[in-house]
């Protein structure tokens, strides 16, 4: 795809990060942008209204959330094409990270409208930075599926990942998610539970999944608020072992074929699961 020149006659869509708890984490540039744009597209206008009031920002808002995302995106595009700049904010943290906004940004890119980031708080990065777990490589997974079966199935595809894993979770599912992690990853896997980051009752616990599950279950107050779970990657001992013949076959196939095709052929020949073969192939590559 050939890059195209952006028109100066168009407005700019600013992706503005906002505090995840402590209002004093708002950036100076973010405040200036929110004061000067034509409109602020907010996930929840009532929630964001408190932030704007705190900083004396009087810019009108329009709602852009998961239930009206396409319609609201069309309205924002119309304003941008008229030369009016708009700022997108979510309830907390960086927009689009497990929050609405992707269709809008994609539409702007398709119409060659400038999109500019105003970086700032992110719950995932904040939790990772204090977790005490490896930060050189990590994989952000957002929220796990709601249903128990789907949650377990998703975790099964991740249990052999060697990179640090980062999840978001809500108060009413945190216990169930820890139980699922315990079931699939085993009780010895190191992890970190970060609760209510930057807020008055911030808690950050590190330990084995077995210890963390018991800790959260021990007190109702530890099951309230917004959570980030950081889980260490699988050690060599924790990774599933495949027969040497299967690994040898994967080595030959991946040297000659695209990864997915190599895994598909290996699965047919060995009768082993594609997910396990795929992870093994990735580990061979590393």
Burial class (CB in 10 A: 0-12, 13-18, 19+), 123: buried
Residue 67 lies in a domain: yes
Residues 143 and 198 in one domain: yes
Residues 81 and 159 in one domain: no
Q: What is the pLDDT of residue 228?
A: 98
Residues 38 and 117 in one domain: yes
Q: Look up tokens 């699965």; give the residue.
A: 267
With bands split at pLDDT 50, 70 and 90, how would you rate the model's confidence at 108?
very high
Q: Residue 211 sits in a domain of what CATH number?
A: 3.30.950.10
Residues 175 and 210 in one domain: yes
Q: Look up tokens 């995932």; give the residue.
A: 124
Q: How many structural domains compose the chain?
A: 3
Q: What is the DSSP letter of 237?
A: T
pLDDT, tens digit (0-9, with 9 covering 90-100), for 72-101: 999 999 999 999 999 999 999 999 999 999
Residue 6 lies in a domain: no
For residues 47-61, average pLDDT: 97
pLDDT, tens digit (0-9, with 9 covering 90-100), for 173-208: 999 999 999 999 999 999 999 999 999 999 999 999
CA separation for the pair 139, 133 (Å, rounded) = 13
Residue 237 lies in a domain: no
CA separation for the pair 168, 94 (Å, rounded) = 14
Residue 239 lies in a domain: no
Residues 164 and 221 in one domain: yes
Q: How far, in whole angstroms, is CA 96 from its chain's centroid?
A: 9
Residues 54 and 116 in one domain: yes
For residues 142-157, average pLDDT: 94
- Domain of 161? 124-231
Q: Residue 89 sits in a domain of what CATH number?
A: 3.40.1010.10
Query: Pick from 209, 231, 253: which residue ends a domain?
Result: 231
Q: What is the pLDDT of residue 1?
A: 40
Residue pair 191/234 in contact (Cβ under 8 Å)? The answer is no
Residue 152 lies in a domain: yes
Residues 128 and 227 in one domain: yes
Q: What is the pLDDT of residue 83?
A: 97
* Residue 253 token pair: 């196939």
């Amino acid at each position: 795809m050939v890059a195209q020149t952006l028109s100066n006659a168009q407005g700019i869509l600013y992706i503005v990060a906002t505090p995840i708890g402590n209002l004093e984490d708002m950036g100076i540039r973010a405040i200036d942008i929110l004061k000067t744009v034509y409109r602020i597209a907010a996930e929840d206008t009532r929630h964001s209204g408190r932030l704007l009031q705190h900083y004396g920002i009087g810019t009108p808002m329009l709602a852009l959330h998961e239930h009206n995302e396409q319609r609201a995106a069309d309205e924002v595009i119309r304003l941008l094409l008229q030369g009016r700049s708009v700022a997108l904010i979510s309830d907390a943290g960086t927009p689009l990270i497990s929050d609405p906004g992707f269709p809008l940004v994609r539409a702007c890119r398709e119409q060659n409208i400038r999109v500019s980031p105003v970086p700032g708080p992110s719950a995932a990065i904040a939790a990772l930075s204090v977790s005490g777990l490896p930060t050189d490589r990590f994989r952000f997974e957002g929220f796990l599926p709601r249903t128990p079966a789907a949650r377990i199935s998703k975790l099964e595809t991740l249990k052999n990942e060697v990179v640090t894993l980062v999840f978001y979770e809500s108060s009413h599912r945190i216990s169930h998610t820890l139980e699922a992690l315990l079931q699939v990853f085993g009780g010895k896997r190191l992890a970190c539970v970060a609760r209510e980051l930057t807020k008055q009752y911030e808690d950050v616990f590190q330990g084995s999944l077995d210890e963390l599950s018991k800790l959260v279950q021990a007190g109702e107050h530890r099951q309230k608020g917004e959570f980030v779970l950081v889980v260490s990657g699988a050690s060599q001992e924790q990774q599933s072992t495949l027969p040497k013949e299967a690994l040898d076959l994967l080595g030959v196939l991946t040297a000659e074929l695209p990864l997915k095709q190599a895994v598909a052929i290996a699965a047919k020949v060995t009768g082993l699961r594609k997910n396990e073969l795929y992870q093994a192939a990735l580990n061979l590559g590393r």
